[in-house]
Amino acid sequence: MDIALKIGSRWRKVGLKLESYNPSGSIKYRTARGLIRALEASGLLAPGSHLVESTSGNLGVALAFLSQVRDYRFTAVTDPKADPVMLEHMKSMGAVVISAGEPDEDGSYLLSRLAMIRRLLAEDRASIWPNQYENPANPEIHYHETAPEICRQRPGMDAVFIAASTGGTLAGIGRYLRSVSATAKVVGVDVRGSRVFGYPSGKRLITGIGSSCTSLFLRPGDYDDVVIVDDREAVTTCHYLQDNLGIGLGGSAGAVVAACARYLKAHPEIAQPVCICPDGSANYLNTLYNYAWLAGHGFGSVLNLESLAFSDVLKW
């Protein structure tokens, strides 16, 4: 769908690619399908096979969904930052959900989750780890499916904004666009405190986007620019779009739209930007969309528009 952001005195059209419409509710449905398809192609999976994966939520929901359909067992290793909505969703589809205990130095849990994965693999030697962090099937599905779909849907696109965590979505879409367009800008989006692009680590609130490790997929030529967004800017954008347009975006999508607005301000020539919105508000009803939770995390007044690069929003 298209919206208009008021940036300075100009209204700018922005395309939102709403990945919440995937069967499991997020862009990670595509990643999960790519990972499972690659394992099946190498003959590693049979009915009853046991998959284990580390996830901040969405990949877990997608793997639980596909495991139920294809008769695999699935154990998700998540952490206390995940919204209970996503954990319950995984469990309702038969997944075993384990929460990694100890936070890393920056308050995230990736290293703790990976240690738990190694323990599970040692306990059940027949279990299989798709490993979204290193498996080339992750960027490949976005190269072969997500990116051509974007180009079909918006042939004149001149900039695309993509949230990064493993970097699989950005690497896959970026490489494809490089092969078909000499001009379209590929912009990676991350949150402050994340190490995906090598910036210093720090506490982060939003899940899904960001990581305490650099991406193993991304190469410098895969993207043109990176925009780093504060948690507050992303959350404010989510609430502003929800309150004014009734569009419920997830936290990383809020970061992507906030980044796009900032980029458009600096690039008046861009006419057809697209924001990849990885998931929707349904995944964050107990966290980013819960005022008591926000207040407990230092977000007393969410809608402080001064931090944003846009001043108003409309449906296009």
Contacts with ligand PLP, residue ranges (CB under 6 A): 26, 28, 56, 58-59, 163-170, 208-209, 250, 252, 278-279
Nearest to 239 by CA among 258, 259, 226: 258
Contact (Cβ atoms closer than 8 angstroms) between residue 278 and residue 163: yes
Angle between helix 58-70 and helix 28-41 axes, rounded to 10 deg: 50
Is 12 or 89 the residue whose CB approaches ligand PLP more closely? 89
Is 193 or 250 the residue whose CB approaches ligand PLP more closely? 250
Give residue number: closest CB to ligand PLP.
Answer: 208
Residue 252 Cβ, how far from ligand PLP at the closest point, in Å? 3
Residue 46 Cβ, how far from ligand PLP at the closest point, in Å? 27
Residue 210 Cβ, how far from ligand PLP at the closest point, in Å? 8
Is 112 or 169 the residue whose CB approaches ligand PLP more closely? 169
User: b/e map of 255-271 (b: 16 or more CB within 10 Å)?
Assistant: bbbbbbbbbbeeeeebe
Q: Identify the bridge partners of residue 277 per DSSP, sorted by sequence position.
A: 18
Is 15 or 167 the residue whose CB approaches ligand PLP more closely? 167
C-beta pairs of 107-115 under 8 Å, 24+ apart in sequence = 107/203, 107/204, 108/79, 108/81, 108/204, 108/210, 108/211, 108/212, 109/79, 109/80, 109/81, 110/54, 110/211, 110/212, 110/213, 111/212, 112/79, 113/54, 113/55, 113/77, 113/78, 113/79, 114/54
- C-alpha–C-alpha distance, residues 106 and 124, integer Å: 30
Residue 268 Cβ, how far from ligand PLP at the closest point, in Å? 28
Among all chains, which residue has been given the structure tokens 């779009």?
241
Structure tokens at 284: 């964050």
Residue 314 Cβ, how far from ligand PLP at the closest point, in Å? 25
Is 28 or 185 the residue whose CB approaches ligand PLP more closely? 28
Residue 12 Cβ, how far from ligand PLP at the closest point, in Å? 23
Residue 2 Cβ, how far from ligand PLP at the closest point, in Å? 21
Is 116 or 164 the residue whose CB approaches ligand PLP more closely? 164
Residue 249 Cβ, how far from ligand PLP at the closest point, in Å? 10
CA dihedral 79, 85, 86, 87 (to 10 degrees): 50
Is 7 or 114 the residue whose CB approaches ligand PLP more closely? 114
